[in-house]
Amino acid sequence: MSDTVLRADGVHKAYNGLQVLQGVSLEVGRGEVKVIIGPSGSGKSTLLRCLALLEPIDGGAVALEDQVLSGLRERELAAHRSEIGMVFQRFNLFQNMTALGNVMVGLRDVRRLPKKEARERALEFLSRVGLADKADSYPEELSGGQQQRVAIARALVMRPKAMLFDEPTSALDVELVREVLDVMEGLARDGMTMVVVSHELRFAHHVASSILMMDEGRVIEEAPPEQFFSSPTHERTKRFLALVE
């Protein structure tokens, strides 16, 4: 088995005739962190949803640890979805469940763990994101940063092979961004395989194995952070970096 965890091969995706992904290829090795940047509408979220098996694709392939998953039937897909953790810009927690309930629900419903075991494991992961003391709080009683950390714990508790983050801090007040980035940095240090859409360039510089620039449904440039920021090759990348910085 190669040490590629997640792979996209020439992925195409269209919505009502609009070509949103036009042959995107991407290879994420074990323990790598790929950060994706690019203008609004370039297809970043769509790419993550395709990688997370939340969207059928129109061409190409998505593979997890050398097994091609795109094209599987819904029943089989569902079994693989929890192997890929996804964290969205808006935390998408169940409002009628406590933090603990949110983190436990997948262990109970998908993994069929007994209640006691699910509860223990969920608490362990809430502690990992620094929220052991908020286990009984409902989402509306938590700050945005805390809610996002619950969402991260909820994905992590399933022990995914890779974690995907779609602008996880862009809906947060500035003073809450750091606590979420710190959790993500910790994950990266622990060797989690990650794909992160984010315009937090300092985070990207510090944590990414490589940075990818998307434009109009394509990856137009990929390089390690040093090289990406100091000598981007594409005009489009230069202009975009000037805007974001």
Ligand X SMILES: Nc1ncnc2c1ncn2[C@@H]1O[C@H](COP(=O)(O)OP(=O)(O)OP(=O)(O)O)[C@@H](O)[C@H]1O
Q: In whole angstroms, what is the distance from residue 192 CA to residue 95 CA?
A: 28
Report if residue 134 touches ligand X, rule: CB under 6 A.
Answer: no
Report if residue 237 touches ligand X, rule: CB under 6 A.
Answer: no
Among 195, 197, 231, CA closest to 214: 197
Based on its alpha-carbon atoms, the radius of gyration of the chain, rounded to whole angstroms, reads 18
Report if residue 45 touches ligand X, rule: CB under 6 A.
Answer: yes
Report if residue 46 touches ligand X, rule: CB under 6 A.
Answer: yes
Contact 69, 62 (CB under 8 A): yes
Cβ partners under 8 Å of residue 120, min gap 6: none
Among 67, 61, 21, 14, CA closest to 42: 21
Report if residue 44 touches ligand X, rule: CB under 6 A.
Answer: yes
90 secondary structure, DSSP code: S
Closest distance of CB 12 from ligand X, Å: 13
Report if residue 152 touches ligand X, rule: CB under 6 A.
Answer: no
Report if residue 42 touches ligand X, rule: CB under 6 A.
Answer: yes
Q: Which of 1, 17, 40, 174 binds ligand X (CB under 6 A)?
A: 40
Candidate ranges 37-45, 57-65, 145-153, 219-227; the one touching Mg ion (CB under 5 A): 37-45
Residue 13 vs 121, nearer CB to ligand X: 13
Residue 37 vs 131, nearer CB to Mg ion: 37
Report if residue 42 touches Mg ion, rule: CB under 5 A.
Answer: no
Using CB under 5 A as the binding criterion, the count of chain residues that bind Mg ion stands at 2
Q: In whole angstroms, what is the distance from residue 239 CA to residue 120 CA?
A: 49
Contact 103, 157 (CB under 8 A): yes
Candidate ranges 40-48, 68-76, 178-186, 230-238; the one touching ligand X (CB under 6 A): 40-48
34, interface contact from ligand X, Mg ion, none, CB < 5-8 Å by kind: none
Max Cα-Cα span within the chain: 56
Looking only at residues 101 through 130 of this chain, which bind ligand X when binding is defined by CB under 6 A? Answer: none
Report if residue 169 touches Mg ion, rule: CB under 5 A.
Answer: no
**Six-digit token pair at 122?**
């969920």
20, interface contact from Mg ion, ligand X, none, CB < 5-8 Å by kind: ligand X
Candidate ranges 39-47, 76-84, 129-137, 225-233; the one touching Mg ion (CB under 5 A): 39-47
**Six-digit token pair at 231?**
């000598």
Report if residue 46 touches Mg ion, rule: CB under 5 A.
Answer: no
Contact 217, 22 (CB under 8 A): yes
Q: In whole angstroms, what is the distance from residue 163 CA to residue 194 CA?
A: 5
Residues that bind ligand X (CB under 6 A): 15, 20, 38, 40-46
